[in-house]
Structure 1
Amino acid sequence: MASALSALLLSPALSGCILGTEKPELNLDMPAAYREGGRSAPDASLPALDWWRGFQSRELTSLMEASQVYNLDIAVAIAQIVQADAQVGVSGAPLLPSITGNGTAEREHVSTASAGGAGGPTTFSQYSLGLTASYMVDFWGKNRATLYAAEESATAARYNREVVALTTIVTVANTYFQVLAAQDELRVARRNLAAAERILVLIKQQFNGGTASQLDLSQQEALVSTERAAIPPLEITLRQNIAALALLVARAPANFTVHGGTMTQIVIPRVTPGMPSELLNQRPDIRQAEAQLASSNFSVESARAAFFPQIQLTATTGVQSAALASLFGPGAWFYTLAAGLTQPIFDGFLLESQLKQAKGLQLQYLQAYRKAVLSAFADVEKALVALSQSTLQERLQAQAVTDSRKAFEVSETQLRAGTVNLITVLQTQQTLLTNENTLAQVRLTKLLAASSLFQALGGGWNPNGQLSSLEPSSPPSPQP
């Protein structure tokens, strides 16, 4: 019996001895450098873990840090990690022997009729205590491959948490920039409204003096109404984005405020992309796709091993007696040993279909991994183009605003002096309005491009550190 139990305990060490290592070819198109990245040093100014501090906005930094602690999407991702870790335990259980304890106490009364009418009724008892151990010898590596697949899935769940966290903080930054843009555009709209109202007062004076027509007066009144009507949509954008920020930090919008400011106070941190090959390690979504592909590889191995014979070892030992007092006495001990082998012969093509399904999933994750890598390269290229061109456009547009403002101021002065017609004033005023609104949009595009570049480079997480904490925090209490 001892040798049988030893065989059960040693059998895990003999399992999985021919686990395969077949992996699909990746065939990645790896560029040597970014087209828009210039010739910067490979390690020059890669994103810091706290890259958002480079914008030099205390409120934005506070929102970023709060989102990482309280965001509910991150909390959901952490809960998924707990599930994935538990699945690792479930998948690893078949690799260990299963031991079950049992005990029974029976008392049976046999009637006279059952005893054939001879000797009268009979009553007897039966007591037993025992242990049953069983183990499926994983000689072909089926169960071990399933365990490895679950472990890779748990790793993918951790990378998913990092993907969610990175997406969340970038969304916070983008939403905050939308708030600043709306505030800037509101200031522009109110300033233009005030200028239009000044011109309207002047035209009314000229109309009363007989030097301006009713058409001139009506045109300027229409412009004032247009400027006034442009303010409510901007208020909608501002307030809706503040509500969106409240959700990102798990706060009720009624208990949440954003002070904001202006986009001109935001500094764009310096960052260079480095080498494209570094993205394979820097981006958590690529690491997640890689873990999913590895998990599917092991799932294929598990499905393939299911075609081979399965060896089941079972051992039972214990004590059994008709009298409770002699249950542990001499002669009460018993044991049984059994070994079984099962070989699938015909199962309606079940195993073959399961293998095809596993291979199909492997192909799916292979293509997803390739797409993740190429998408990462494209994300960096697009962000670099947007950042460089919007920076150039901002400089040119700022000059256009300066020139159009000067032209409007001159035309307003000349209108007061009566040396210019109203049409010229209206044209310069409309040009200034258009250029100022365009400048605000260009500045927003520049800020969004900067945050997109940090996201494309995988900024905000440590590829070589511990992946994630499993302790989500409670939402902050409302501020009075």
Structure 2
Amino acid sequence: MALRIALVLVLLLGGCTLGPDYMRPPILTPDSHRGVVGTPATESLADLPWWELFRDPVVQELIREALRNNYDLRTTASRVEEARAQVGVVRSFLYPQVNFNGSWNAQRVSRASDPTQSDGGDRHFQNWLAGFGMVWEVDVFGRIRRQTEAAGAAHYATEWDRRGVYLALVADIAQFYFDLRELDLELEITRRTLKLNDDTVTFYQSRFDTGISNRLEVEQAVANRARTAAAIPDLERRIARQEHLINYLLSHNPGPILRGVALTDQYYPPTIPAGLPSALLERRPDVQSAEQLLVAANADIGAAKALFFPTFSLSSTLGAVSHDFSNIVDKRAAIWSVTGGFLQPLFQGWRLFWNYEGTKARFDQALAQYEKAAQNSFREVADALVTIDKLKVEREEKEAQVAALQNASNLSRQRYDAGYSNYLEILIADQQLFDSELLLARLRGAQLNAMVQLYRALGGGWQP
């Protein structure tokens, strides 16, 4: 008898797992990123830890502070723990559920319904029960195992989501800091230009007072000075808002932000390799998270399919029953029972069928989201690469323009002093130089931000 029971248990525990096993779907992956000439290098900018790419000590400390305190990162870390706990909850159903039961009941027997009690015997009865109960659903067709697989994949997805928030936080702090330093450079240019405008107003006012110049030149100089001065409060407002934004990511109250290396002295890597496009499928947290959700959806199909098949269960009880609590441990009060059974669904109003169809539809949705995430990763890298390439050319041209306008501004003053031109030439040259210097500062900031965006698009920055 014991041998038969052992054989049955072996057969039940060695049951099959229904549903398809997961296989990564094929992704149309380009051989190289757009704009990369020749054989693409295997190394990638994303291989660098963020502290080797962002070398300004101030931005490094800001990133570390954000990684310690940021609200979104703390939230995703808690979600990882929640998903890990859910895996344990689902896996627990693979094991027997053992409980300790205790109960007491009392009753009075009716004499009118029981003739044996007409002699005046005791009509009051009570019983005490104490014992252990065990219920075990034997996972013959793998429903619980598939549910555990789905919960595990969902847990891994939350872990990749946490890494994605980590990556985004590193990139955002670096980008917002570079934006702040770019605004600082604009403010520096504006104040320097304003000082030049003040000197110009004083110069022409002095010439007007001595009768050398005319009122038109003075008014033009004053208007040009006001144009420059009006840009300062706007820049100061934007700088304050940028500082508040950075403090928000640090979980700090609004306040000033320390400054480190100037924008023009920030580290910029001499070469920016993008690596192989196929590496994005392994490196990008959003792609990995989407794939884990696809794994979970695939496992749900197997769990839904297993619902069509019988459910096998074992239950047992071991304990004691006695009318007197003091005799509950008497061996004569001992009881035990073992029950085995199965439940085969026959008709559920097509509920099981539609549940199965729904899981297949959710798998198709997860597949589309995975393919979308993969294609989006290729697009973002290509966008960042073309931005870096074109900004480099644009910056070189803008630097040449600024140099030419500086010469033009000096020449216009020399011509004016020699009596060959009027103040209008100086005004036009100064305004063009001021505008071009501001645009050059923005291009320098845009180049650094494009590097940050490429680093983010390649999936760098989340490594410990």
TM-score (norm 1): 0.89
- TM-aligned CA deviation for residue 246 of structure 1: 0.8
SS in 1 for 2:132: strand
Aligned to 2:231: 230
Aligned to 1:39: 38
Aligned to 1:106: 105
Aligned to 2:70: 71
Distance 1:82 1:44, change over 3 A: closer
- Give yes or no for contact 2:56–2:261 (8 Å, CA) kept in 1: no
SS in 2 for 1:153: helix
Distance 1:8 1:157, change over 3 A: farther
Aligned to 1:268: 268
Aligned to 2:124: 123
- Give yes or no for contact 1:202–1:416 (8 Å, CA) kept in 2: no
- Give yes or no for contact 1:12–1:96 (8 Å, CA) kept in 2: no
Distance 1:10 1:73 in 2: 48
Moved more, 92-101 or 210-219: 210-219
- Give yes or no for contact 1:321–1:332 (8 Å, CA) kept in 2: yes
- Give yes or no for contact 1:108–1:125 (8 Å, CA) kept in 2: yes
Aligned to 1:370: 371
Aligned to 1:299: 300
- Give yes or no for contact 2:90–2:151 (8 Å, CA) kept in 1: yes
- TM-aligned CA deviation for residue 8 of structure 1: 9.9
1:161-206 Cα distance to aligned partner (Å, 9 max, x none): 0000000110001100110010000011111112222222222233
- Give yes or no for contact 1:44–1:271 (8 Å, CA) kept in 2: no
Aligned to 1:171: 172
Which letter does structure 1 place at the counterpart of 2:323? A
Distance 2:129 2:232 in 1: 87
Moved more, 159-168 or 40-49: 40-49
Aligned to 1:87: 86
SS in 2 for 1:130: strand
Which letter does structure 2 place at the counterpart of 1:129? A
Moved more, 51-60 or 176-185: 51-60
Distance 2:289 2:157 in 1: 5
- Give yes or no for contact 2:157–2:290 (8 Å, CA) kept in 1: yes
Moved more, 333-342 or 295-304: 333-342
Distance 2:429 2:162 in 1: 52
Distance 1:317 1:5, change over 3 A: farther
- Give yes or no for contact 2:127–2:322 (8 Å, CA) kept in 1: yes
Distance 1:404 1:38 in 2: 36
Which letter does structure 1 place at the counterpart of 2:450? A
Q: Tell me, yes or no, if structure 1 residue 329 matches structure 2 residue 326.
A: no
- Give yes or no for contact 2:57–2:260 (8 Å, CA) kept in 1: no
Which letter does structure 2 place at the counterpart of 1:62? E
Which letter does structure 1 place at the counterpart of 2:339? A
SS in 2 for 1:253: coil
- TM-aligned CA deviation for residue 141 of structure 1: 1.1
- Give yes or no for contact 2:73–2:162 (8 Å, CA) kept in 1: yes
Distance 1:233 1:139, change over 3 A: same
Aligned to 2:53: 54
Distance 1:7 1:314, change over 3 A: farther
Overall identity of the aligned pairs, in %: 28
Moved more, 408-417 or 26-35: 408-417
1:305-334 Cα distance to aligned partner (Å, 9 max, x none): 112222222222222223344433344222
Aligned to 2:195: 194
1:213-257 Cα distance to aligned partner (Å, 9 max, x none): 333322222211111111111111111111111111121123x53
Distance 1:115 1:308 in 2: 48
- Give yes or no for contact 1:52–1:64 (8 Å, CA) kept in 2: no
- Give yes or no for contact 1:11–1:137 (8 Å, CA) kept in 2: no
SS in 1 for 2:259: coil
Aligned to 1:282: 283
SS in 1 for 2:274: coil
Q: Tell me, yes or no, if structure 1 residue 252 matches structure 2 residue 239.
A: no
- Give yes or no for contact 2:13–2:139 (8 Å, CA) kept in 1: no
Aligned to 1:157: 158
Distance 1:25 1:61 in 2: 37
Distance 1:97 1:331, change over 3 A: same
Which letter does structure 2 place at the counterpart of 1:340? G
- Give yes or no for contact 1:188–1:436 (8 Å, CA) kept in 2: yes
Aligned to 1:141: 142
- Give yes or no for contact 2:412–2:429 (8 Å, CA) kept in 1: yes
SS in 2 for 1:47: helix
Distance 1:354 1:24, change over 3 A: farther
Moved more, 195-204 or 324-333: 324-333
Distance 1:344 1:124 in 2: 41
- Give yes or no for contact 1:8–1:134 (8 Å, CA) kept in 2: no
Aligned to 1:478: none
- Give yes or no for contact 2:130–2:320 (8 Å, CA) kept in 1: yes
Q: Tell me, yes or no, if structure 1 residue 220 matches structure 2 residue 221.
A: yes
Moved more, 192-201 or 70-79: 192-201
Aligned to 2:449: 448
- Give yes or no for contact 1:40–1:274 (8 Å, CA) kept in 2: no
Aligned to 2:207: 206
Distance 2:12 2:440 in 1: 69
Which letter does structure 2 place at the counterpart of 1:237? R
- TM-aligned CA deviation for residue 85 of structure 1: 0.7
